[in-house]
């Protein structure tokens, strides 16, 4: 029996071991899902604090409670930073970040470093799956050659697939199990094995012809959102200049039963995917002599939105004969979207930084983020402010950046001297102290 036949047998009878590399917002839910269906999972992460927390039954992601970790531990899940244990796994799934560098170019260092850490322990009969969002061709041009240099040929003595993550934190209607999963294999046999392992954990699988097609699918999904959000953000700026409530316009347009999909404007783009992924395609497209001007323009608009919000704050303070410099400004919501604790690429953080650069004394309140997290580009030694009528009044301006449901919006409107609303929560308010942004 060949190595891949043995792998297929293990996957079919449920004895295959899954290794998940990167136990963050993508990797940890996937690990818990495999554990839930009785698959033994080894989680790998270079952050020792995460490893210790998980092995002690503690979660560090709000929506994944300790009880889920404890249940997975009982099912055999364990976390480790020891990559030599990769040889124990049959299916190895990489779920690490793919950020941009300072020049807005793809940074694949996490993917490459993880792959290089696995290779000394890789063996025949293993499946390697990349879930990290990246440019079309990454699996074939970066991962496959590294495997081949070590004597592994996809479809012959190992399997290689790309299956992009599709996570939507805070969405109560879909989870890891119910979100359809796209898979592209280097060969038909690779695709067959990829479908077999993911089929244990995911209800619906969507096979495509190649890893490139799967990689492009993920980019299209996120670029679609980025471009449409850029459009509605630009419409918001124009509407504001014309004295028109953009939220009223969107509600009216959404009554059209065909040809229109409503998108909501905001203070900018957040999360790990939508602000970053479009630039993976613009970078790769240049190799083919294509300039993705439409995508880049949307990126420029969305990147500008935190600056737009800061100008609205400055105008609001100026109307009270105050400068930004020296004013106390409270940012409501640090997470990039409502009702979650994920602050990756959050426009709220950029707004804080821009205000601080202009001399404002900034603070934040977020019931889901008690302490400002460690970040590469930002450093605030702050804890979340517990809101009350008295301390709201102490701030010269309050900025609603993320509209968590836990905020008391009536009290905020009543006690705020100025409230800059970037989410349309108060539209169409005519209160003098509420400024749409």
Determine how many CB atoms are found less than 10 A away from the CB of residue 161: 30
- Cα torsion 215, 267, 340, 109 to 10°: value is 40
CA distances from 188 to 161, 194, 252 (A): 10, 10, 48
**Tally of CA atoms within 13 A in the half-sphere of 23 that contains its CB:** 29
Q: How far is CA 157 from the centre of its chain?
A: 34
Beta-strand pair 434-436/419-421: parallel
Phi, psi at 21, each rounded to 5°: -110, 110
Determine the Cα–Cα distance for residues 395 and 414; give it in Å rounded to an integer.
Answer: 13
Strand order through the sheet with 41-44? 78-80, 41-44, 18-21, 91-94, 127-130, 159-162, 181-185, 205-208
First to last CA, the chain: 65
Burial of 416 (0-12, 13-18, 19+ CB in 10 A): buried
Determine the Cα–Cα distance for residues 364 and 382; give it in Å rounded to an integer.
Answer: 8
Helix H or strand E encompassing 184: strand 181-185
Catalytic residue among 95, 158, 190, 273: 273
CA distances from 346 to 13, 80, 90 (A): 43, 29, 36
| SS3 of residue 195 by DSSP | helix
Catalytic annotation present for 273: yes
Determine the Cα–Cα distance for residues 332 and 404; give it in Å rounded to an integer.
Answer: 9
In the DSSP assignment, the letter for residue 14 is T
Name beta bridge partners: 286. none
Determine the Cα–Cα distance for residues 188 and 185; give it in Å rounded to an integer.
Answer: 6
Residues making up the chain, counted from first to last: 437
Burial of 259 (0-12, 13-18, 19+ CB in 10 A): exposed
Determine the Cα–Cα distance for residues 300 and 230; give it in Å rounded to an integer.
Answer: 8
Tell me which residues are annotated as active site.
273
């Amino acid at each position: 029996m060949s190595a891949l036949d043995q792998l297929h047998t293990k996957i079919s009878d449920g004895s295959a071991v899954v290794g998940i590399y990167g136990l963050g917002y993508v990797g940890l839910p996937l690990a818990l899902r495999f554990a839930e269906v009785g698959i033994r999972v080894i989680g790998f992460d270079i952050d020792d604090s995460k490893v210790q927390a998980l092995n002690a039954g503690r979660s560090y992601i709000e929506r994944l409670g300790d009880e889920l970790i404890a249940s997975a531990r009982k099912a055999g899940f364990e976390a480790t930073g020891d990559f030599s244990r990769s040889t124990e796994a049959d299916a190895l799934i990489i779920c690490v970040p793919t950020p941009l560098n300072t020049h807005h170019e793809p940074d694949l260092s996490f993917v490459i470093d993880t792959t290089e850490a696995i290779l000394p322990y890789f063996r025949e009969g293993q499946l390697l799956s990349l879930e990290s969002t990246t440019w079309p061709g990454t699996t074939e041009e970066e991962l496959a050659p590294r495997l081949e240099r070590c004597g592994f040929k996809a479809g012959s003595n190992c399997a290689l697939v790309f299956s992009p993550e599709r996570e939507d934190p805070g969405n109560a209607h879909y989870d890891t199990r119910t979100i359809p999963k796209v898979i592209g294999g280097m060969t038909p046999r690779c695709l067959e094995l990829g479908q077999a392992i993911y089929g244990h954990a995911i209800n619906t699988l969507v096979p495509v012809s190649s890893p490139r097609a799967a990689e492009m699918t993920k980019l299209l999904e996120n670029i679609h959102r980025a471009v449409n959000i850029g459009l509605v953000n630009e419409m918001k700026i124009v509407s504001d200049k014309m004295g028109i409530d953009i939220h009223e316009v969107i509600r009216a347009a959404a009554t059209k039963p065909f040809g229109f999909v409503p998108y909501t404007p905001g203070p900018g783009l957040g999360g790990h995917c939508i602000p970053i992924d479009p630039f993976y395609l613009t970078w790769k497209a240049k190799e083919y002599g294509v300039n993705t001007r439409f995508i880049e323009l949307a990126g420029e608009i969305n990147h500008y939105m935190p600056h737009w919000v800061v100008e609205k704050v400055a105008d609001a303070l100026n109307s009270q004969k105050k400068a930004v410099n020296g004013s106390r400004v409270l940012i409501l919501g640090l997470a990039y979207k409502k009702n979650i604790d994920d602050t990756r690429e959050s426009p709220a953080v950029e707004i804080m930084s821009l205000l601080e650069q202009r001399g404002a004394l900034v603070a934040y309140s977020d019931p889901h983020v008690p302490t400002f997290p460690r970040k590469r580009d930002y450093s605030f030694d702050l804890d979340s402010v517990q809101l009350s009528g008295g301390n709201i009044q102490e701030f010269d301006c309050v900025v609603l950046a993320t509209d968590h449901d836990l905020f008391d919006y009536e009290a905020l409107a009543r006690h705020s001297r100025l409230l800059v609303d970037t989410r349309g929560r108060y539209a169409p308010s005519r209160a003098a102290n509420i400024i749409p942004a």
